[in-house]
A and B are shown apart, each in its own frame.
Chain A
C-alpha cells in the first residue's frame, strides 16, 4: 500500500524540550511538506523540500527545523524556541510540480504540558 505515515499519532512535550516528528512516504514523490493546523484554522506551511538535501522555509518556520537526507523521509523538529507548539502537524507529498495534487499523512497531535 502506497502512502504517507506519520509518527507518533500523539506526542506530549514538556516546555523546553525539543521533539522530532516523523514523516515517511513510499509514493516515490520528490516534494514533501510540513503544515501546522491550529484549532478551527486552516493549514499553514512550515517547511517544504523539493528534492533530497534541499529545503525551504514556509510562512511559519521560526522555531522549527527539518532535514531531507533521504527521498522518503522528511522529519520535523519542534525546538524549544517555538513559543506555542501545541498544534496538529500534517505532512504531505507530491510529485514535485506546483501543479500536482498533494497527499497527506494522518497527522501528529503535539501537546506541550
Chain B
C-alpha cells in the first residue's frame, strides 16, 4: 500500500518564526489533505490539495503530485499553531492513509 512519510517528526519554533513541513508519498494519489490536531485531540481540516497551491491566511500548501510530495508552510507562527500536523492521502477506494505527523511547539 501507499506509504506516507512526514518530516520533521518534531519542531520547536519561537513565536513569529516561519516553518515548512513536508509530506512524501510513495505512489500516485487521488486526494491529499493536511490536518491540524489541537492539544485536545480535535482534527481540523487545513487544506484539501491533491495538486497545486492554496493559501489560507498564514498557512499555505503546495502539492507536486508528479514528484509525490506536499509542503505545508506556516508563516509568523503563533502559540495557537502548536499541535500535530498530519498529511493524509487516498490512493483509490475509500481508504485514507495518514502519516505519523509533525509535532509542532511554538514558544512565546
Tell me, yes or no, whether A binds B. Answer: yes
Residues of A within 8 A of B (CB): 31, 33, 35, 37, 40-45, 48, 50, 56, 58-59, 88, 90, 92, 98-104, 106-107, 109
Leading 6 A-B pairs by shortest Cβ distance: A42-B98, A104-B43, A43-B98, A101-B48, A107-B41, A99-B31
B96 touches A88 (CB 8 A): no
CA distance A29 to B9 in the complex (A): 33
Contact with A along B34-76 (1 / 0, CB 8 A): 0100001111110010100000000000000000000000000
B90 touches A99 (CB 8 A): yes
CA distance A102 to B45 in the complex (A): 8
Residue of B at shortest CB range from A31? B94
Give the bracket for the number of chain B residues in contact with chain A. 20 to 34
A42 touches B100 (CB 8 A): yes
B51 vs chain A, min Cβ distance (A): 12
A41 touches B90 (CB 8 A): no
CA distance A25 to B86 in the complex (A): 23
B54 vs chain A, min Cβ distance (A): 12
Contact with A along B70-108 (1 / 0, CB 8 A): 000000000000000010101011111011110000000
Interface check B14, CB cutoff 8 A: no
Interface check B33, CB cutoff 8 A: yes
A45 touches B96 (CB 8 A): yes
A106 and B50 contact, Cβ closer than 8 Å, known pairs A41-B100, A99-B31: no
Interface check B30, CB cutoff 8 A: yes
Known: A98-B93, A99-B30. 13 other contacts (CB 8 A): A33-B94, A35-B98, A42-B86, A42-B100, A44-B98, A45-B96, A90-B43, A98-B92, A99-B90, A100-B31, A102-B88, A103-B45, A106-B42
Most chain B CB atoms below 10 A, which of A37, A41, A43, A101 = A43
